[in-house]
A and B are shown apart, each in its own frame.
Chain A
Amino acid sequence: MEPAPAFALETRGIDKSFGAVHANRAIDLKVAKGSIHGIIGENGAGKSTLMNILYGMYAADRGEILINGREVNMTSSAVAIRHGIGMVHQHFMLVSPFTVLENVMLGAEQGFLLKASVIATRALIRRMGEEYGLIVDPDARVGDLPVGLQQRVEIIKALRGGARILILDEPTGVLTPQETEGFFAILRALRDEGVTILLITHKLQEVMALTDQVSVMRRGEMVAERATAETTREELAELMVGRKVLLDVARLDAEPGAPVLRVKGLRFTDADGVERVKGLDFEIRAGELLSVAGISGNGQSELLDVLAGISPPAAGSIEIGGAVIDAAHPRNAAGMRALGVSHVPEDRHHRGLVLPFDARENSILGFQDGPAAGAGFMLDRAHIAARAARHVAEFDVRPPIATLRAAQYSGGNQQKLVLAREIDAAPKLLLIGQPTRGVDIGAIEFIYKRLMALKAAGCAILLVSVELEEVLSLSDRILVMCNGEQKGVVRVENANERILGLMMAGVTGDTELAGAS
């Protein structure tokens, strides 16, 4: 018997260009069998392109892919699946109204009648639960499951055909800290069973906690490979961006001024009649940063919308600079802006920017009716161009040209454009949602510094983020939401990831914590 090849997956000189964009340059990658191999890099470093090539979605221009030492002509994802590769995409590809069983079975039905497939799939789901801890109710509707369980369904689907190599694209973006821990346990169990796992992520702590080996990509090239045990977060961060970065911002201690925002008993009910925000009470003072932490989908987004004037409150009141907004006196987004409220939305692609517009036109979005756009009914194009040029210069937008369409900037630079526009209004209150989602490390640092400068200038900031690290390093106080309810407000000195995680999961409120400590 010949010795089994040591590498489950190997690439030699993979090259891929899209037009003139060289997304992958001569990528050599060796993934040891039965290991967890991390691939990290900034946005646009070429990670997803490489994974799509491995999974047969794109064809490489040059280079070879070897699976278990044999070259494979990866022409489609069907070929990849046949060679034992499974992939879990960042955005789940599940049919919500179907049950778990139906989703797992989808695409693998045998014969005219479903019965045999149903029996086989049910057995498969049970076995997955027993062997790897991928426990999930086969008869639950996928749409009713929390994302952590939906992800298990995706993994079962990926493993269904007997996959021995699992590619996971940013798998933990949607999970709570507790869910992430459980997820890691599953991955370790899979590894111990001999499954090779390729983990794409930008979260360095996960790489450190989970992987055996880590490869770093930068601008389409594989710049380094390290055994995880022999490297540090700082080194990896430096390799990713090609220079040293500050991961810890110097948080300014608040010198709180007068209250800017007062929220009392705020409630919001969505169009389907579901109450999303259930009675919030808090205030933010000038020069203070309050974070709203919570698992994504627990009412934080709706809170932002109500405060920004996009949705009207159902009950309770919002008081800003003497104006009171309640169900009887709602204000739209323009009305809130008039009160000095700026808003960096969570979703810059669908809200914060008009992607086909250039940076100049985007620089007046939300201010299109005010002096920023000129006088009279016409747009003052020279004035707008100067404004956009100023934003680009002051916020170090790259490339430093304001005539590009918003869609042509990278995520970090798009975020800088939005932030520049919103800060330019000299707001009394800044609402900012997921400021660093899809933003590379260099831009994250820049954005954090800007927020701190704004705080120092006396602006009240409300930050909504699912990144606990971010929340803990920027906030003065942290409000935790769970299921639309306010689980409590803690000062940052009294908070850590575990405490916040428990509150986010609805296990404890701040009162219990205060009693325990």
Chain B
Amino acid sequence: MRPAPPLPAWADIGLLPIINIVAALGVSGIIIALIGENPFRALAVMMEGAFVYKGALGYTLYYTTNFIFTGLAVAVAFHAAMFNIGGEGQACIGGLGAGVAVLMADQFLPGVLLIPFAVIFSALFGAAWAFIPGYLQATRGSHIVITTIMFNFIAASVMVSLLAGPLMRQGQGAPETRPFSEAAQMPYIHDLLAAIGVEATRSPLNASLLIALCAAALVWFIIWRTRFGYAVRAMGASPGAAEYAGMNTVRITVLALLLSGGLAGLMASNAVLGEPHKLVLNFTGGYGFTGIAVALMGRNHPVGIVLAALLFGALTQGGTELDFEFQTITRETVQVVQGLIILFSGALAYLFAPMLARAIAPFTGRRPAR
């Protein structure tokens, strides 16, 4: 029952996530050992699968891109003390925005105009999908967690009805749109590298990664360097102080949610414009939800989110290899490992914090000012 000493920031940001991952891998290792495989070999296969094999890094970074977008989306809302569970739905509708933009214009607009047009549409649609929960939260007090969860279901249903209806490819039975024209395809990184004379393995990795990194930088700038970001953080940390300071909390809440939804929507620039080049059902694949773990692990800071996204990207890609390499390790086992990492770095993020704080207290000599 004794309170632990405060944990220094460097340990919170640097050490704790590593301990969490090690703990998750430890538990995963036990499970894999119980299945009858060598956990160390499994880890090696996973690392190789994520970084070493030809093209593996490209795939890892492709997944990373999705996680950066959804992680940023969750983090922005977090700074305003809102838990945006709706990344999945916002990404879904963002994909709809990108798809609609492309289907409208890919017959006459050149790529240089079409791709930015579609990217902007994905952000706008994602933002619009977050607007309603944001507005209801700000003006009616409808809890954002509840409304965004419900909006995920609505988004999924909207997609089904559109892809099985007006947007379905003529004369086909699959719930997907027609393939986009070449002008609407986000340039591949291997093509971009080839243009400057660098040979790279083909992979789905595309220019969206650059958009994601720019988005991360932009989020950092907005949150920590602008008046708006100041207001968002102040309101998030202390609603009473925001009211005292005369901030327009309705406006800040709605704008923060718009930004959050827009970032989630941008995931479509990777997962629609980047790879399948058509709008398919369930292209969001749970990235919106995993974005919550990414944001938690990245401590809601863009740099942390990029690193956490890289970890989750590696897990996704390496997990596929694991499934491929071992007879006994199935896709579901891989999901268990991913789930454990999410559990330890998300829900149980501070499980080891008191222990760590006690362990390092004798060495730090940090004292909080009285």
Q: Which residues of A contact B (CB under 8 A)?
A: 18-21, 44, 57-59, 76, 308-310, 332-337, 343, 345, 347, 350-357, 361, 364-366, 368-369, 373, 377-379, 381, 399, 404, 408-410
- The distance in angstroms between the C-alpha atoms of A59 and B246, with both chains bound, is 44
Q: Which residues of B contact A (CB under 8 A)?
A: 1-3, 5-6, 225-228, 230-231, 233-234, 237-238, 240-241, 243-248, 361, 364-370
Checking A21, A355, A368 against B367 with a beta-carbon cut-off of 8 angstroms, the contacting residue is A21
Question: What is the distance, in angstroms, from A408's C-beta to the closest C-beta of chain B?
Answer: 4
Checking B2, B234, B240, B366 against A20 with a beta-carbon cut-off of 8 angstroms, the contacting residue is B366
Are B230 and A373 neighbours in the complex by a CB distance under 8 Å? yes
- The distance in angstroms between the C-alpha atoms of A44 and B367, with both chains bound, is 14
A343-B244, A352-B244 known; A410+B234 contact, CB < 8 A: no
Extra inter-chain contacts (10) besides given A365-B234, A368-B247, CB under 8 Å: A57-B1, A309-B246, A335-B246, A337-B246, A350-B238, A368-B245, A377-B226, A379-B225, A408-B369, A410-B369
Are A44 and B246 neighbours in the complex by a CB distance under 8 Å? no
Minimal Cβ-Cβ distance residue in A for B221 = A378
Q: List 6 A-B contacts (CB under 8 A).
A: A20-B365, A21-B367, A57-B1, A351-B243, A353-B241, A365-B245
Are B6 and A19 neighbours in the complex by a CB distance under 8 Å? yes
Residues of A close to B1: CB separation below 8 A: 57, 76
A18-B3, A20-B366 known; A347+B230 contact, CB < 8 A: no
Question: What is the distance, in angstroms, from B330's C-beta to the closest C-beta of chain A?
Answer: 44
Residues of A close to B365: CB separation below 8 A: 20
Are A378 and B225 neighbours in the complex by a CB distance under 8 Å? yes
Residues of A close to B231: CB separation below 8 A: 368
Are A350 and B240 neighbours in the complex by a CB distance under 8 Å? yes
Are A377 and B368 neighbours in the complex by a CB distance under 8 Å? no
Minimal Cβ-Cβ distance residue in B for A409 = B369
A21-B370, A58-B2, A355-B237 known; A366+B227 contact, CB < 8 A: no
Question: What is the distance, in angstroms, from A183's C-beta to the closest C-beta of chain B?
Answer: 30
Are B238 and A366 neighbours in the complex by a CB distance under 8 Å? no
Interface of A is mostly: loop
- The distance in angstroms between the C-alpha atoms of A309 and B240, with both chains bound, is 13
- The distance in angstroms between the C-alpha atoms of A337 and B245, with both chains bound, is 9
Are B246 and A334 neighbours in the complex by a CB distance under 8 Å? yes
- The distance in angstroms between the C-alpha atoms of A379 and B233, with both chains bound, is 13
Question: What is the distance, in angstroms, from B255's C-beta to the closest C-beta of chain A?
Answer: 12
- The distance in angstroms between the C-alpha atoms of A308 and B226, with both chains bound, is 26
Interchain pairs with CB closer than 8 A, number: 100
A368-B227, A373-B227 known; A399+B246 contact, CB < 8 A: no
Residues of B close to A409: CB separation below 8 A: 369
- The distance in angstroms between the C-alpha atoms of A345 and B2, with both chains bound, is 33
Checking B6, B240, B367 against A351 with a beta-carbon cut-off of 8 angstroms, the contacting residue is B240
Minimal Cβ-Cβ distance residue in B for A46 = B370
- The distance in angstroms between the C-alpha atoms of A272 and B225, with both chains bound, is 39
- The distance in angstroms between the C-alpha atoms of A145 and B241, with both chains bound, is 30
Question: What is the distance, in angstroms, from A487's C-beta to the closest C-beta of chain B?
Answer: 28
Residues of A close to B241: CB separation below 8 A: 350-354, 365
Are A59 and B2 neighbours in the complex by a CB distance under 8 Å? yes
Checking B3, B238, B244 against A333 with a beta-carbon cut-off of 8 angstroms, the contacting residue is B244
- The distance in angstroms between the C-alpha atoms of A381 and B364, with both chains bound, is 30
Are A44 and B370 neighbours in the complex by a CB distance under 8 Å? yes
Are B244 and A345 neighbours in the complex by a CB distance under 8 Å? yes
Are B367 and A20 neighbours in the complex by a CB distance under 8 Å? yes
- The distance in angstroms between the C-alpha atoms of A410 and B370, with both chains bound, is 5
- The distance in angstroms between the C-alpha atoms of A456 and B226, with both chains bound, is 37
Question: What is the distance, in angstroms, from A421's C-beta to the closest C-beta of chain B?
Answer: 10
- The distance in angstroms between the C-alpha atoms of A361 and B248, with both chains bound, is 18
Residues of A close to B3: CB separation below 8 A: 18
Residues of B close to A343: CB separation below 8 A: 244
Are B234 and A378 neighbours in the complex by a CB distance under 8 Å? no
- The distance in angstroms between the C-alpha atoms of A378 and B229, with both chains bound, is 9
- The distance in angstroms between the C-alpha atoms of A351 and B239, with both chains bound, is 8
- The distance in angstroms between the C-alpha atoms of A484 and B172, with both chains bound, is 73
Question: What is the distance, in angstroms, from A440's C-beta to the closest C-beta of chain B?
Answer: 10
A18-B3, A368-B231, A377-B228 known; A404+B243 contact, CB < 8 A: no
Residues of B close to A335: CB separation below 8 A: 246
Are A333 and B366 neighbours in the complex by a CB distance under 8 Å? no
- The distance in angstroms between the C-alpha atoms of A357 and B223, with both chains bound, is 13
Are A19 and B369 neighbours in the complex by a CB distance under 8 Å? no
- The distance in angstroms between the C-alpha atoms of A308 and B369, with both chains bound, is 31
Residues of B close to A76: CB separation below 8 A: 1
Are A404 and B369 neighbours in the complex by a CB distance under 8 Å? yes
Are A354 and B366 neighbours in the complex by a CB distance under 8 Å? no
Residues of A close to B367: CB separation below 8 A: 19-21
Residues of A close to B245: CB separation below 8 A: 333-334, 365-366, 368
Residues of B close to A353: CB separation below 8 A: 238, 241
Residues of B close to A334: CB separation below 8 A: 245-247
A357-B237, A378-B226, A379-B230 known; A308+B370 contact, CB < 8 A: no
Question: What is the distance, in angstroms, from A475's C-beta to the closest C-beta of chain B?
Answer: 24
- The distance in angstroms between the C-alpha atoms of A223 and B118, with both chains bound, is 73
Residues of B close to A365: CB separation below 8 A: 234, 241, 244-245
Are B243 and A354 neighbours in the complex by a CB distance under 8 Å? no
Minimal Cβ-Cβ distance residue in A for B235 = A354
Question: What is the distance, in angstroms, from A162's C-beta to the closest C-beta of chain B?
Answer: 25
Question: What is the distance, in angstroms, from A392's C-beta to the closest C-beta of chain B?
Answer: 13
Question: What is the distance, in angstroms, from A43's C-beta to the closest C-beta of chain B?
Answer: 8
Residues of B close to A373: CB separation below 8 A: 227, 230
Residues of A close to B240: CB separation below 8 A: 347, 350-351
- The distance in angstroms between the C-alpha atoms of A351 and B246, with both chains bound, is 11
Minimal Cβ-Cβ distance residue in B for A408 = B369
Question: What is the distance, in angstroms, from A341's C-beta to the closest C-beta of chain B?
Answer: 11
Checking A355, A366, A408 against B244 with a beta-carbon cut-off of 8 angstroms, the contacting residue is A366
- The distance in angstroms between the C-alpha atoms of A333 and B242, with both chains bound, is 10
Residues of A close to B244: CB separation below 8 A: 308, 310, 333, 343, 345, 351-352, 365-366
- The distance in angstroms between the C-alpha atoms of A309 and B245, with both chains bound, is 10
Checking A18, A336, A347, A355 against B246 with a beta-carbon cut-off of 8 angstroms, the contacting residue is A336
Question: What is the distance, in angstroms, from A350's C-beta to the closest C-beta of chain B?
Answer: 4
Residues of B close to A350: CB separation below 8 A: 238, 240-241
Residues of B close to A333: CB separation below 8 A: 243-246
Minimal Cβ-Cβ distance residue in A for B228 = A377
- The distance in angstroms between the C-alpha atoms of A366 and B237, with both chains bound, is 15
- The distance in angstroms between the C-alpha atoms of A57 and B3, with both chains bound, is 10
A58-B2, A310-B243, A350-B241 known; A357+B233 contact, CB < 8 A: yes
- The distance in angstroms between the C-alpha atoms of A404 and B370, with both chains bound, is 11
Question: What is the distance, in angstroms, from B349's C-beta to the closest C-beta of chain A?
Answer: 17
- Which of B225, B230, B245, B365 has most A Cβ within 10 Å? B245
Residues of A close to B228: CB separation below 8 A: 377
A20-B366, A21-B367, A21-B368 known; A366+B246 contact, CB < 8 A: yes
Minimal Cβ-Cβ distance residue in B for A220 = B370
Are A19 and B246 neighbours in the complex by a CB distance under 8 Å? no
Minimal Cβ-Cβ distance residue in A for B243 = A310
- The distance in angstroms between the C-alpha atoms of A81 and B260, with both chains bound, is 52
- The distance in angstroms between the C-alpha atoms of A355 and B367, with both chains bound, is 17
Are A399 and B369 neighbours in the complex by a CB distance under 8 Å? yes
Residues of B close to A336: CB separation below 8 A: 246
Which 6 A-B pairs give the minimum distances between C-beta atoms? A334-B246, A333-B246, A19-B5, A20-B367, A350-B240, A366-B245
